Structure 1
Amino acid sequence: MLETQRLTPEQIDRAAAILRAGGRVAFPTETVYGLGADATDDRAVAGIYAAKDRPRFNPLIVHVPDATAARRFAILNDQAERLAGAFWPGPLTLVLPLRAEAGIAPLVSAGLSTVAVRVPAHPLAQALLRAVGRPIAAPSANPSGRISATTADHVWDGLAGRIEAVLDGGGCDVGLESTIIGLAPDPVLLRPGGLPAEAVEACLGAPLRRHDGAINAPGQLSSHYAPEATIRLAAGSAEPGESFLGFGPGPATLNLSAAGDLTEAAANLFGHLRALDAMGRPIAVAPVPEAGLGLAINDRLRRAAAPRPS
């Protein structure tokens, strides 16, 4: 493993060399840790799917250091430019039309004519992307369908022996995956995430449609972000034999935010689910408001509680 948070330029260059050679490197973003590979290399991208046991029909997000890099392979209309100017770098992914001869591996977009693009804000992610000089495909760095990784230790817990390196940048500030917006033709919320939908609507001056249809962006599988334990949602308290994930004041095995702060709850969500899962008991979860970041938190909780595919 490459050294922890005090990474040198030489260590960043080593990670970039692994990526340019077709290898896989996990790295921190402000949302969660991503498992990166060269988005222009079919075999490298296939290695992501193999490491995660990820279904081939589930697209990947391409990470770039700035909007200029995104424009080289994706088409940004006026709405996309407005959102990119307001929220990049940051926890926003835009699903955009692919340019002809874009050079992005077909597996990245799962055969679609669009590509999901993000500019991460984490300084270590930025340094790595600029050192590589290529677009990097990077889903969350965890086995497919399991709890996303928000620390380097989480990455090793799920992917040890399957990937070449992890860049340890400490814990992730946001702790939820990016918000995904589609723009073809009207803006649509494809996945709630670390940027509240209300902020996107304010920027565009129009409401977002809600997605209801086929998988056309990452993170839309009905069962996703799941622990091994079963989950019971909107619980007032734990039943005998359950752990309780609280929100707001009151007794709990672990509390997303005793103060009822949705930002704190989002940052704690995946780490607390992992800790409760390790206790080996079913998990009851307190209600979380369906507003702001609560929309994304509840989306992840519903997917974590959904029936598992056979």
Structure 2
Amino acid sequence: MNVTFFNAKPYDKQFFEAANPEFGHQLKFLEVPLNEHTAVLAKDAEAVCAFVNDHADAAVLRLLAEGGTRLIAMRCAGYNNVDLKAAAELGLKVVRVPAYSPHAVAEHALALILTLNRKTHRAYNRVREGNFALTGLMGFDLHGRTVGLIGLGKIGLVTARILKGFGCRVLGFDIQHEAEADEIGVEFTDLDTLFAQSDIISLHCPLTPHTFHLINDEAIAKMKDGVMLINTSRGAIIDTKAVIKGLKCEKIKYLGLDVYEEEGDLFFEDMSAKVIQDDVFMRLLSFNNVLITGHQAFLTSDALQNIAHITLQNISDFEHGQALTNQVLP
């Protein structure tokens, strides 16, 4: 099939071209994001491959369908940026990569926790300047601390296993109760209890109408003083302005983000020569107890190999009329 990629980075091209000989598709890589202005560039492409910050609303999908597109292949797990109802009405199928490497994201969450706790990012800069003073670098033992995980899917469960290896008590909340969580030793509880007892809270749930701004003023008020909050899932699960208030009053002592609710105009691009116009984001950067990475939790060679293979298999399944095991329905 003819496949047009939007928002394609060098690593996308590298891994998809390496995987494609097994599938034999015709791949076209575009650096521009998918939106109402760029959708025409996919004319005659039977499939369009998009990423988390591409726009696939009704207007965009209509343009794609008019150009001959029949399949939207998301090269990620998230699909909240796709209007599924509109896609169905236009006869477009939507597929995704539900699990590319839960270890990649779980390990990045732990990297954020350990970096914030032991302040290795600040220590690195001090040592490079010849400053070997330890004042202000004190952390705490992760062993024995209580960590609350909101979302116990594949990523959440891998995170739980890692944390149990550190000797943590792990609380968990999810709408489904997986038996594997019991085997790991996760204590299932309600959100209020998780908020009240957790020293660290890590988010691993999808963005849905129910999880939008799940972490808000009311939720933060229920948390322990000095809590650490980690988000490697979706930015809009956190109400950023509420979190800033929590940081200012020191209710939140540490914040680690790999996602941001308004990241679409920032992440995946080099903005170093520009003035960033997002005042809320810049306020976050002003705190010395906030660590932000630019949506890189997925970025391991293992994950990218899996993303490329599963995405191309999804496209081949569609081409050959086979069951779409990774299809997303309205």
TM-score by length of 2: 0.25
RCO comparison, higher one (Cα < 8 Å, 6+): 1
Larger relative helix fraction: 2
TM-score by length of 1: 0.27
